Structure 1
């Protein structure tokens, strides 16, 4: 039975890889389900994310971050959720759709090499960074408790950004902290797509249900990648918490500030890492499992029609 399950999984993988780019790249069901899974995961894990964000900004323990949110009241608990809901829904589309499109351009006929998967993942991360950085910027300002009085809503933040000149809107407004975001997203996507299939294939040999290898693969990948890139996450959160027309700290000055305020200790940089593990495991595990399930159903229906 184990051998049959593994063979079926490998057959589906090779058939999927060898399909024409037009068919594989525009699987509308995969885009839709990817968007839905990201939407649901973001909503469920948003409280965890908000606690992590407070730790990144104030370098406090979990209990203190929770106390801050409790003191602010339930009306502010989900403050700032709309930008991440929108960005993660778009991310679910861009992450898998752009990757598949680029992979088919680089390697029209499978199986795809590690080099092609890495390159396609890296470039999809670049596209994701360009498209979603403005949403992440607004989200981080909304979640900073110090900005609630001055910027009570998304509209107030957008009004502030749009009051700048053209270059000010980009450098001081929507794309503040873009370069660390670009590095984080491109490397994260490249690592995720490079190692997702090998981990999943290895687990499939054990004869597990199809959704288990995908769930575990997504969880392991998301957790490891997030922890490796966690210093960049902290840097982005701190850079994007700044707002105003005045001259903002440069990238290097921001790095130095984060390092100094964390007592020049790696352990304090990683404060909040335990919650990142939980959030990443849930988010990437669900997203990977649902996307894999959708691919299988899509190909099964196509085979029945043929």
Structure 2
């Protein structure tokens, strides 16, 4: 009996350590991916905001200079690091909680996806203010009136949550929940299928992130465009989700092609970002003996 109790305690400690490592690994993978892909992200943001061509967006950023190229990098760097830690860590925690309830009734892939949906919803509530600040920072029309991060935060604090930090929360909730559910539901099956084709573990993980990002980002892209347009401006009565969606649709001349302008960069950024994130996370999960936890 004593041996059984000791074994049970040891298993609980191992599970706790694995969860702790998931938070650390997720944070590191998010940090690396953000540094690499931020210039692409900023170009994409300009396209979403102004419906500009790739060349026009690149020329805008080039004219502003290299210093302003990384203007606004602090919020996404902090967000993606925290987001990565939160995303992978909480998903593992939720999965551990629901697995005993559904292991006989639902396949593991479905449990992974359900835990991902829950993680995405909580993530949206926690990180929507960071996305709001980031979008305000990256809008060049705010450079004069809101030149610093402190001035932006002060301005948003003076408004109601719905108009301030949590503007655009509904589309963010939908986008993050669906996206996280699909990512965690597809991640391991796609990686394992690629491994059986002779790819190395790192390449399999990277390609898994790439393929999943394509499947997720394309259908959810209009929501990202809507969020960017809702959050980029400060002040005034911007209206609710429906009003903003109708205004965006009219501004894009009721054209799906114009609504998806910047879609090529979405695929490129998502492929690089989630490919790196997935590869770094899976690698650390298998080779993290250097971590003290």
TM-score with structure 2 setting the length: 0.89
154-163 vs 135-144, which deviates more?
154-163
Q: What's the counterpart of residue 288 of structure 1? A: 278
Q: Of 237, 246, 251, which aligns to 1:247?
A: 237
1:259 deviates by 0.6
Using the TM superposition, give the Cα deviation of residue 161 of structure 1 relative to its aligned residue in structure 2, in angstroms. 1.6
Equivalent position SS for 1:185: helix
Task: Note if 1:271 corresponds to 2:266.
Answer: no
Counterpart of 1:65 in structure 2 is 57
Counterpart mapping for 1:1-306 below 5 A: 23=15, 26-108=18-100, 113-164=108-159, 168=160, 170-244=161-235, 246-298=236-288
2-structure distance, mates of 1:90, 1:156: 23
Q: 1:281 to 1:24 in 2, by over 3 A?
A: farther
The answer for unaligned runs of 5 or more in structure 1 is: 1-18
Q: Is the 8 A contact 1:25 1:97 kept in 2?
A: no
Partner of 2:3: none
Moved over 3 A (4+): 19-22, 24-30, 108-112
Deviations 1:172-200 (A, max 9, x none): 11000000000000000000011111111
SS at match of 1:174: coil
CA RMSD of aligned residues (A): 2.1
Q: Is the 8 A contact 1:25 1:100 kept in 2?
A: no
Residues 241-264 of structure 1: CA deviation (Å, up to 9, x unaligned): 1211x3221110100011111111
Moved more, 219-228 or 175-184: 219-228
Separation in structure 1 between the aligned mates of residue 86 and residue 12 of structure 2, nearest angstrom: 19
Per the alignment, in what secondary structure is the counterpart of residue 206 of structure 1? Answer: coil
Q: CA deviation at 1:67?
A: 1.3
Q: Distance in 2 between matches of 1:21 and 1:65?
A: 51
Unaligned runs of 5+ in 2: 1-10
Query: For the residues of structure 1 that align with 2:17 and 2:176, how far apart are their CA atoms?
Result: 21
Partner of 1:9: none
C-alpha contact (below 8 Å) 1:94/1:128 kept by paired residues: yes
* Partner Cα separation in structure 1 for residue 126 and residue 65 of structure 2: 33
Deviates more, 1:54-63 or 1:196-205: 196-205
How far does residue 39 in structure 1 lie from its aligned partner after superposition? 1.0
Matched-pair contact (CA < 8 Å) for 1:35–1:93: yes
Q: Deviations over 1:45-84 (max 9, x none)?
A: 1111111000001001011111111222333111111110
- Report the equivalent of 1:11: none
